[in-house]
Amino acid sequence: MENAPAAPHPEYDLLRPIENPGKSFYYIVAVLLVIILYTGYVYIRQVYYGLGVTGMAQPVTWGFYIVNFVFFIGISHAGTLISAILRLSKAEWRRPITRMAEVITAIVLAIGGLHPILDLGRPDRMTHLFYNGRLQSPLLWDIVSITAYFTASTVYLYIPMIPDIAILRDRGVKPRWLYEFLSWGWQGTEQQHKVLDRAMNVLMVVVIPIAVSVHTIISYIFAMTVQPGWHSTIFGPYFVVGAIFSGIAAILVLMIVFRKVFHLERYLKLIHFNYLSVLLLVMSLLWFYFTFSEYLTSYYGNEPNEMRVFWYKFRGAFAPYFWTMVTCNFLLPLILLSNRKTRTIPGILIASISVIIGMWLERLIIVVPSLANPRLPYPTGIYIPSHTEWMLFLGGVSVFILGYMMFARFFPVISIWEIQEGRQESAKAVTERITSYMPDPEPRYTGSMENE
Amino acid sequence: MMNRKLIDRLQILSLSLIWLLFTGGAVWILNLVKESLRLHDAPDASLGISLVAIPVFFTLSSVLTYVFIGLRKGRKKDVES
Amino acid sequence: MKWGMVIDLQKCTGCGECVAACKLENNVAIVEPKESEMGRTMLWMDMLTVYEGEYPRLRVRQFPRPCMHCDHPPCTKICPVRATYKNEEGIVAQIYPQCIGCRYCMAACPYTVKSFNWYKPEWAPGIRETANPDVSVRPVGVVEKCTFCVHRLQKAKEQAKSEGRNLREGDFQTACAESCPAGAIVFGDLENTSHRVNPLSRSPRATRLLEDLGTEPKVIYLKEVD
């Protein structure tokens, strides 16, 4: 990788990872590739021998693959939802965050969307979904909505990237043809800016209902059955709230990592973390509200099958996971984030990691207990995930990290042109906006009152 | 160095492929709707979903096309290949 | 025509003959002991045990549980590829070459009647020779369940057609009904008044499992008289 002496640029910190990557990048990529290759081998073994290599059995016929499917797609809500909502509400503090968030969405959707394939007993028959799919099945709704969300979020990531790609093209960064190809002839003319603005305005609005629909439809996979613990009307909103919750935690972790690794302290300031972590706290309270409603309703209703699943989670085999989840999702974030003194970068990091773990546990707690406690008098199901399932989980996470690193290697993770736009125009735009909120000046009396 | 014309052609090709992909998706959904009508297997759900999904896909490809054409038109005149 | 089953719990002794007969008739795979302990035993007809009360007044009840062949099956609604569907005669069927093994139907069935081929089914050397040639062997990765011995139905229909007559009650019996030594399992056409299941299904002792779910199962249990 040759390096021409870098032309100075006010936002050089954001360009350095691309123009001057450094050796550790390659080491980490190598380690990740090894993990991913081994995961590939493990998966091929599963296809060859059958799903018997997992820990699933009757009645717990769904395990890690479905848990991770819901988990990864849940994290995807961070990106597009946050960046779309923050752009729509004209929150200026979003500028360094939106692209990072959008990249999470794109990568994690691809990984999550492939997880149902990992779960199939006959992945070789996947084309049956295309030739004979039944649109009545929630799984088909999922395919449609996840595809829609993936394409929407990719387009929504790409279009605001165009001016940045043009910056890289103009600086002659290699591979030149890639940036030429992707920049679509951007030159920063006023007309081009208008086109971009209009497109982003449309996308910002279109992407929100798609994003909400995705996790709602995933919740319908469970809610549309009659199984105790699943057949709940609250699942749609519950899953969306949980998704946004876990997504914000993911963005925070990523922001902290990049800030450290790329030395972005000038861009990701304490105030950004402050605002996002307050949002995380709000989502934690919201999550608790939904969870509380869900379980209080079951408990008060006292329907025997529901109560079996309830006690299995509260007192039975799943009690350790359940109470860990409550601690990770509610108690820890509440303690750490409501106090200004603990709302520091290390505090936020701990809270976010805790939320990610807690939300993964929540997916596990939704999928397994209802299956382990069938209505008819069978022995309670046991689920012990196997090496295959753990490896595929680790592999999925590795693919995410690798994908993100590859993105950061070729494109800036913070939107350079939006930062520059912010420097030049935001203060004026915001001042104008706030002035317009203030009451209009009193009308001037022209003196006619005095002259009777 | 790839020349401007080749890159232009590749860009147009990629955009056409995206339209092809979305049209393919729409055709697929319509095919499934047809099957559900033939088998009397929940045709209403199928129609409902297609009514929502297909416009979404075409909105996306339209936005992309709008940006592509808009950016070309907004170029400064002297950089024509 | 609506095929259904009546199981008289007063006559049932819990001997398990129906369970064995079903496995032999339908080439249901035998899994290794380790797999069976995990819960991967494949029983199209299962024998469920209910314990009531406490020692010394412990009461143990057993009842056979085939697929309920619901009239409103929760499993067919959600299958993404139509590998399970309800046919015109009321039998909820599985199409093995179509199934992609997503196991959604297994998760959705409130009676938990479906089994899955976690590995490729294998039989010990001698047992292969006793396989039923009328029933296809399922490959790895597909879901299977009780089919009300639909292969016997096909044979009976062809026989009746070749003899130019209608199907009689005795022509088509499921393996479990045929094998029950106490005569507790009766199988037939619920809509045909000449079949025994018809009056039996309307007996005052008749009940169905999980009726309040609205699945309308076609396996009717006659409660014990005590």
Out of C41, C99, C103, name the one closest to residue A61 (CB).
Answer: C103
Q: Which helix (H) or strand (E) holds A338?
A: helix A332-338
Q: State the pairing for strand pair C59-65/C84-86.
A: unpaired
CA B40 to chain centre: 30
CA distance B47 to B32: 9
- Confidence band, pLDDT 50/70/90 cuts, at residue A20: confident
Percent of chain A with pLDDT over 70: 97
Q: In terms of CA atoms, which chain A residue is nearest residue C77?
A: A137
A146 vs B46, more confident: A146
Cα–Cα distances in Å, from C162 out to A188, C24, C89, C138, C165? 82, 28, 20, 30, 8
Q: Which helix (H) or strand (E) holds A276?
A: helix A270-301
Mean pLDDT of chain A: 90
Q: Which of A348, A378, A360, A403 is nearest to A154 (CA)?
A: A403
CA distance A184 to A166: 8
- Confidence band, pLDDT 50/70/90 cuts, at residue C55: confident
- Confidence band, pLDDT 50/70/90 cuts, at residue C199: very high
A292 part of contact set with chain B, CB < 8 Å: no
Q: Which of B17, C127, C20, B79 is nearest to A184 (CA)?
A: B79
CA distance B37 to B57: 23
pLDDT score of A135 more than 50 = yes
- Confidence band, pLDDT 50/70/90 cuts, at residue A5: low
State whether C98 and A50 contact (CB < 8 Å): no
State whether B1 and A159 contact (CB < 8 Å): no
Q: At what angle do helices A235-262 and A64-88 cross, to 10 degrees?
A: 80
A224 part of contact set with chain C, CB < 8 Å: yes
pTM for the whole structure: 0.92
Rg of chain B, C-alpha, whole Å:
19
CA angle A154–A156–A159, rounded 5-degree value: 100
Out of A57, A126, A224, name the one closest to residue C40 (CB).
Answer: A57
Distance from CA of A162 to the nearest CA of C (A): 39
pLDDT of residue A12: 79
pLDDT of residue C167: 84
- How confident is the prediction along chain B (81 residues), in pLDDT tens digits per residue? 557 888 888 888 988 998 898 898 888 888 888 888 887 777 777 787 788 888 888 898 898 889 888 888 877 765 444
ipTM, two decimals = 0.91
DSSP string, B14-76: HHHHHHHHHHHHHHHHHHHHHHHHHHTS-HHHHHHHHHHHHHHHHHHHHHHHHHHHHHHHTS-
Q: CB of A371 within 8 A of CB of A62?
A: yes
Length of chain C in residues, anyone? 226
Please provide residue C219's backbone torsions phi and psi, each rounded to the nearest 5 degrees.
-105, 120
Q: Which two tokens stand for residue A154?
A: 């990719």
CA distance C183 to C185: 6
A162 part of contact set with chain B, CB < 8 Å: yes
Q: In terms of CA atoms, which chain A residue is nearest residue B70?
A: A195
pLDDT of residue A447: 59
Percent of chain A with pLDDT over 90: 64
pLDDT score of C219 more than 80 = yes
State whether C108 and A140 contact (CB < 8 Å): no
State whether A120 and C119 contact (CB < 8 Å): no
Residue A447, CB half-sphere, CA atoms under 13 Å: how many? 0
Q: State the pairing for strand pair C206-207/C219-222.
A: antiparallel
Q: Which two tokens stand for residue A376?
A: 């008819």
pLDDT digits 0-9 by tens, A355-400: 999 999 999 999 999 999 999 999 898 999 999 999 999 999 999 9
- Confidence band, pLDDT 50/70/90 cuts, at residue C65: very high
SS3 C61: strand
Residues 6 or more apart in contact with residue A8 via CB below 8 angstroms: none
Q: In terms of CA atoms, which chain A residue is nearest residue B24?
A: A130
A140 part of contact set with chain B, CB < 8 Å: yes
Within 8 A of C74 by CB-CB distance, chain A residues are 225-226
Between positions 41 and 70 of B, the ones with CB within 8 A of A are 41-42, 45-46, 49-50, 53, 56-57, 59-60, 63-64, 66-68, 70
Fill in the amino acid letter for C207: T
DSSP string, A35-62: HHHHHHHHHHHHHHH-GGGSS--SS---
Query: For A49-68, what is the mean pLDDT?
Result: 94
- Confidence band, pLDDT 50/70/90 cuts, at residue A426: confident
pLDDT of residue A189: 87
pLDDT of residue A1: 40
- Which residues lie across from C59 on neighbouring strands? C52
Distance from CA of A216 to the nearest CA of C (A): 16
Q: Which two tokens stand for residue A299?
A: 């408990």
CA angle A413–A416–A418, rounded 5-degree value: 110
Q: Which of A63, A78, A132 is nearest to A109 (CA)?
A: A78
- Confidence band, pLDDT 50/70/90 cuts, at residue A279: very high
Q: CB of A313 within 8 A of CB of A365?
A: yes
CA distance A364 to A158: 33
Residues 6 or more apart in contact with residue A397 via CB below 8 angstroms: none
pLDDT of residue A3: 47
Q: Which of A90, A271, A57, A164 is nearest to C103 (CA)?
A: A57
pLDDT score of C80 more than 50 = yes
Query: For C58-73, what is the mean pLDDT?
Result: 94
pLDDT digits 0-9 by tens, C146-164: 999 999 999 999 999 999 9
Q: Which of A179, A195, A154, A177 is nearest to A15 (CA)?
A: A179
Q: In terms of CA atoms, which chain B residue is nearest residue A174?
A: B1
